[in-house]
Structures are given as C-alpha cells and as structure tokens.
C-alpha cells in the first residue's frame, strides 16, 4: 500500500513559487529522505502532506485518503521544522497531554525512554536547552505511535551525541515497519539513514532513487581540469568518477571518490592542467542537476534513477 | 482521545503561570479598592439607584472578566508564535475540543476574578440575597460569551507583540463605553453607543442587586448579535490560521 501519493503538487506564496509540480510516491514501510538546500520547497511539500497547507494545484493522498483524514485517524506523527514548546508543563506532562489526543499512543514512559528524556521528565519545558527541546519535540511526534512519521530537519540544534542517539532511535523505529519521511539538507544523513532519497531544488524533484545512487549522482567532490578533446566516456570509466561533462576546453568530473579519480586522471592524462578540486555542496550539486538535467539523463541512460526532471520545463 | 485531558492540562498551565495569574486577578481588585473606598457612602450613584460600592464592584468585574476572557487570545498568540498551534493541527484533537479547552480556561479565570471582587465588594459593604448573587453571576457569565469568541479570534490573528496593546486598548475602550468607570447617561450619544456594546450589558448586571431586570429584549439581542458575529470571525480566524507564523 502507498503511504504517501503526491501528484502535480504546486504551491505559491505571493509571487514565490515554493513548489512547482512535485510527484512522489512513498510506499508503506519505506524510509525516505527529502533532500535539498534551503528554499528547495521541502517544508512546503511537507506542510501539504500534513494538511497544513492547501495545494494550489495537484493532489496529496495519505494512506489512500486526504491528509486531514489521516491526521484525524491519528496515523501521522510529525516534528515540524520550526517550533518550540508551550510552557508551564513538565516534559512528562506535555508528552502525556499529546498522548491523550491519540487513539493508540505509545506508553509515555516508553516515548521518554526512546528519546533519552527519562532524566528530564520532571523539568519544566521552558527550562530546556535547544537540543533538549528538539528531543521533546521528537517524543511528541513518537508518542502518537504513528504509521507515518514525518520529520522536518529534525537534527537542527542537536549536538553530535544528540544526533547519534536520535538516528539510533530512528533506525529502531524504521525496523518496526513504520513509514518515515524526513527532510534534511545533509547528504550524509540521507545516505546513512534512508533507503531512498528524493532530491528537491527550486520547488521540483530533481532526482529520486536509492540513496547510494543519489550520493554517487551528486558526488561529494568535483574535479575541474582543462583537457581539450578528451573522450568523455573514457573519463566516466575512470575509478571514482560518477559523471563527466565538457565545458568549453575544460571537463568537470563529479566524483564519489575524488582521491582515486585524480590519481587515475593524472595517470591517464598527464597533460591535464588548471586542476581544481572542490567539495560540491548540495546547493551546487542541485543547481547542476537542475541546469543539466536533460543532458545528464541523456548522457547516462543506464542509470536507474527513477526520475531526473528537466530544469527548464514546468511540470 | 480524551479531550478532557487536554482541557485539564490547559487549566494547569494557566494556574501555574503565576505572574499572569496574580496580575490579572490583582489589578481589578486594586482599582476597585481605590475607587470604591473613596465613595463608600454614596448610596445612589449618579441617580442610578445603585450604591457606589455595588456599581463599581460590577464595573470592575466587567473590566476584570473581559480581560480574563481576552487573555485566552494572548495565550493562543503565544502558542502560535512557538509553532504549537501547528503541532496541534496535526493531531486528532478536534476543533471543538480545542475551542472548548480555550473557552473553559478563560471562564475559569473570569470566575476567579469575579469571586475575588465579590469578596472585595462584601468587604466594602455590598450585600444582597443569595438568589440575587446567583442570578447576577449567571447573567455575567452569559454576557461574557461574545468575549470568549473575541479572545479566540484575536489570538489567531494577532502576534504576541501586537496583542498586548490591542487588548489593553480594546478593553479600556469597551470598559469606558460600557460604563465601567462611571454610569453612562440615560440618554444621548454615549448612551446609544454603550447600548450597542456587550460590555454595557455586563455592567448593567448590577441592577439585579436592587431587584431590577437589566437586560430586556434589547440587551439579549445585542449579546446574541455580538456572539454570532464574533463566533463566525473566530471560526474563520482559526480555520485560516495553519501557516507558519
């Protein structure tokens, strides 16, 4: 069964087109990362999936019904991107209050245990640190015992230890057959914790596929070198190189392993010059994907990304 | 899916917010003692037939309970500002249960404010029969219904920054025009304006103490009209308010 089915979703705020034609289908039990830079339209898409925003065009269904029906049935637990807690309750009381709203919640003690809040249970919500607040918000999402867990940039404001234990908990939850959708702008988080990544940029889905392929696709680094007349297919065959393209006299290699790639490149083409190696931030990688989407998908027909959308057409 | 639990925690939160609690109860009390003590022996205030301690007791009740009802707006605005309202929207909590919790919390504060002023009034020499105390209380509670709706409406429209001045100014104006600070003349411009406001009828409740029937068709019509209009506004404000603040 499909947990989330999104078709032709569009949403504008004033003159800003936040989401411009998104299609995504997420099966029950999948863990999917919604990956993209700030302003890609991730949060707006999530708002529409949760029924917090009404699409201008397109359709959203959650477990076969409307988002509102899924919310009313208590099937969704969510941690929204922005948010603090209401004051004048203890952590336990707040989680109890939320638990009381759902038809079959987790035991409050279990939700507190899973999120490492046991020791903070009696603290007032207004006295917590940023990371602790995030954990309480996670507990609030979890205690719903939801079929679908939606997390919008959940690890923001968490320290390293907080992140580690957060994702450990998430793994455990995912293994129990829950559907999990989380938004992040960290490629590493998507790679480590999701089966599948949906890449968004400028309000569109730019790529959608298994995370290892997405990782190879956006690469971690790019190598740029002046190398006239070289055969691109030969470059693509080099170890560590996931994509290659020409820009005038230069070539740009997207590399999953730039160390291996640069060694191989220099062995094969000792005449390469003006070499630059840069860490491709997601932003750049996405811009690249959006700009060269058609070309890239045509150049790599064997690649089994489910979808590489065109950057120029409006879906 | 017990919405009663939600209401219970909401009440708990109000009672725990000490500064809010004592300020909102204390301010009308202090004003009452200041005004009523100086006019303690006035038995027929501005030819209303009502003693000054009684008139101002009900006047300050109107002032205090309006504030208590509208303070639910301040709490709602604060919840929206931290994104909690959106968190509630993605839970199965029904609109009805949510609004009921907000209204009940507001009424609890209003009742406490009323009881405190009754005690203060009695200390200043106000006395009436038990049935008069009771029917006056019921009448005030009914006349507060439009203010419950107003509190919810402003809470979902204004931000925590703007709600303070809006409420302060709004309550001062409604209290002034309703006759909280001095009896409204029995005819003329102020009288006409006052009669169209729910706060006027709130203050008129003091007539019960001297055996009068303050409301009449006009009073009920005004309260009903404001209730209908403000409830519609509150519902619309709540429905539209799902975005990030």
| Structure confidence at residue A291 (pLDDT) | 56
Rounded-to-integer distance, Cα B224 and Cα B218, Å? 10
Of A162, A181, A214, the residue that ends a domain is: A214
Nearest to B24 by CA among B151, B127, B154, B133: B151
- Mean pLDDT score, B44-60: 90
A145 and A238 co-located in one domain: no
Q: Could you tell me if residue A89 is inside a domain?
A: yes
Q: What is the CATH number of the domain that holds A18?
A: 3.40.50.300
User: For residue B243, which residues of chain A lie inside 8 Å, CB to CB?
Assistant: 52-53
Rounded-to-integer distance, Cα A217 and Cα A228, Å? 24
Residues 6+ apart with CB under 8 A from A259: A240
Q: Does B95 touch chain A (CB under 8 A)?
A: no
| Structure confidence at residue A189 (pLDDT) | 84
Q: Could you tell me if residue A314 is inside a domain?
A: no
Q: Does B129 touch chain A (CB under 8 A)?
A: no
Q: A247-264, pLDDT tens digit by residue?
A: 888 999 988 788 899 999
- Whole-model pTM: value is 0.81
| Structure confidence at residue B49 (pLDDT) | 85
CA B52, distance to chain mean position in Å, is 21
Whether B69 contacts B155, CB under 8 Å = no
Rounded-to-integer distance, Cα A2 and Cα A167, Å? 24
Predicted ipTM of the assembly: 0.88
The shortest CB-CB distance from B90 to any of A71, A88, A100 is to: A71
Query: What residue numbers bound the domain in which A297 lies?
Result: 219-304
SS3 B24: helix
Q: Could you tell me if residue A309 is inside a domain?
A: no
Across the interface, whether the CB atoms of B242 and A52 are under 8 A apart is answered yes
Nearest to A276 by CA among A294, A300, A258, A297: A258
User: For residue A78, which residues of chain B lie inside 8 Å, CB to CB?
Assistant: 87, 90
Whether B225 contacts B233, CB under 8 Å = no
Rounded-to-integer distance, Cα B215 and Cα B223, Å? 10
Rounded-to-integer distance, Cα A135 and Cα A145, Å? 16
User: For residue B72, which residues of chain A lie inside 8 Å, CB to CB?
Assistant: none
Of A214, A240, A274, the residue that ends a domain is: A214
A209 and A230 co-located in one domain: no
Across the interface, whether the CB atoms of B90 and A93 are under 8 A apart is answered no
Q: B79-113, pLDDT tens digit by residue?
A: 999 999 999 999 999 988 999 999 999 999 999 99
Rounded-to-integer distance, Cα A289 and Cα A286, Å? 5
Rounded-to-integer distance, Cα B223 and Cα B199, Å? 9
Nearest CA in chain A to B94: A72
Per-position b or e across B13-50, b if 16+ CB within 10 A of its CB:
bbeebeebeeebbeebbebbeebbeeeeeeeebeebeb
Q: B160-201, pLDDT tens digit by residue?
A: 999 989 999 999 999 999 999 889 888 899 999 999 999 999
> How many structural domains comprise chain A?
2
Q: Does B9 touch chain A (CB under 8 A)?
A: yes
Interface test with A, best of B91, B160, B245 (most A CBs within 10 A): B91
Across the interface, whether the CB atoms of B1 and A102 are under 8 A apart is answered yes
| Structure confidence at residue A312 (pLDDT) | 32
A240 and A183 co-located in one domain: no
The shortest CB-CB distance from A52 to any of B78, B79, B89 is to: B89
Q: A82-111, pLDDT tens digit by residue?
A: 788 999 999 999 999 999 999 999 999 999
Extract the residue ranges of chain A whose pLDDT is less than 70: 216-220, 280-315
């Amino acid at each position: 069964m499909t947990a989330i089915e999104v078709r032709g979703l569009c949403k504008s705020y004033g003159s800003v087109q936040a989401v411009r034609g998104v299609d995504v289908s997420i099966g029950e039990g999948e863990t999917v990362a919604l990956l993209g830079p700030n302003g890609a339209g991730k949060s707006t898409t999530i708002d529409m999936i949760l029924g917090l925003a009404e699409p201008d065009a397109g359709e959203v269904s959650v477990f076969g019904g409307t988002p509102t029906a899924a919310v009313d049935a208590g099937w969704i637990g969510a941690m929204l991107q922005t948010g603090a807690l209401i004051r004048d309750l203890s952590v336990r009381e707040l989680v109890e209050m939320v638990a009381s709203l759902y038809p079959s919640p987790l035991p409050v003690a279990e939700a507190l245990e899973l999120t490492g809040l046991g020791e903070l249970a009696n603290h007032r919500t207004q006295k917590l640190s940023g990371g602790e607040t995030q954990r309480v918000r996670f507990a609030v999402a979890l205690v719903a015992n939801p079929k679908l867990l939606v997390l919008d940039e959940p690890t923001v404001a968490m320290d390293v230890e907080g992140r580690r234990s957060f994702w450990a908990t998430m793994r455990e939850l995912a293994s129990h057959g829950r559907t999990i959708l989380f938004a992040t702008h960290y490629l590493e988080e998507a790679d480590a914790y999701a089966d599948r990544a949906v890449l968004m940029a400028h309000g569109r889905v730019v790529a959608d596929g298994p995370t290892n392929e997405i990782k190879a696709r956006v690469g971690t680094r790019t190598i740029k070198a002046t190398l006239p007349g070289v055969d691109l297919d030969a470059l693509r065959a080099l170890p560590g190189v996931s994509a290659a393209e020409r820009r005038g006299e230069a070539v740009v290699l997207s590399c999953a392993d730039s160390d291996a790639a640069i060694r191989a490149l220099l062995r094969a083409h000792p005449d390469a010059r003006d070499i630059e190696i840069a860490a491709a931030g997601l932003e750049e990688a996405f811009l690249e994907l959006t700009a060269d989407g058609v070309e890239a998908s045509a150049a790599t027909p064997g690649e089994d990304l489910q979808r590489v959308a065109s950057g120029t057409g409006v879906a | 899916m017990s919405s009663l639990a939600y209401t219970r925690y909401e009440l708990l939160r109000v009672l725990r917010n000490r500064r809010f609690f004592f300020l909102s109860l204390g301010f009308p009390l202090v004003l009452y003692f200041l005004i009523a003590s100086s006019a303690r022996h006035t038995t027929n205030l501005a030819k209303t037939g009502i003693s000054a301690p009684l008139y101002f007791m009900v006047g300050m009740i109107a002032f205090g309970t309006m504030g208590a009802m509208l303070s639910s707006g301040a709490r709602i605005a604060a919840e929206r500002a931290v994104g909690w309202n959106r968190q509630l929207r993605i839970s199965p909590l029904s609109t009805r249960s949510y609004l009921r919790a907000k209204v009940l919390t507001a009424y609890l504060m209003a009742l406490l404010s009323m009881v405190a002023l009754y005690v203060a009034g009695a200390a200043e020499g106000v006395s009436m029969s038990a049935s008069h105390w009771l029917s006056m209380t019921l009448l005030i509670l009914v006349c507060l219904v439009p203010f419950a709706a107003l509190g919810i409406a402003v809470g979902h429209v204004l931000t925590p920054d703007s709600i303070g001045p809006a409420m302060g100014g709004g309550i001062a104006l409604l209290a002034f025009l309703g006759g909280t600070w001095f009896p409204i003349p029995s005819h003329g411009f102020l009288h006409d304006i006052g009669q169209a406001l729910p706060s006027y009828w709130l203050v008129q409740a003091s007539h019960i103490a001297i055996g009068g029937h303050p409301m009449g068709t006009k009073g009920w019509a005004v309260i009903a009209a404001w209730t209908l209009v403000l409830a519609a506004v509150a519902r619309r404000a709540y429905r539209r308010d799902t975005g990030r603040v």
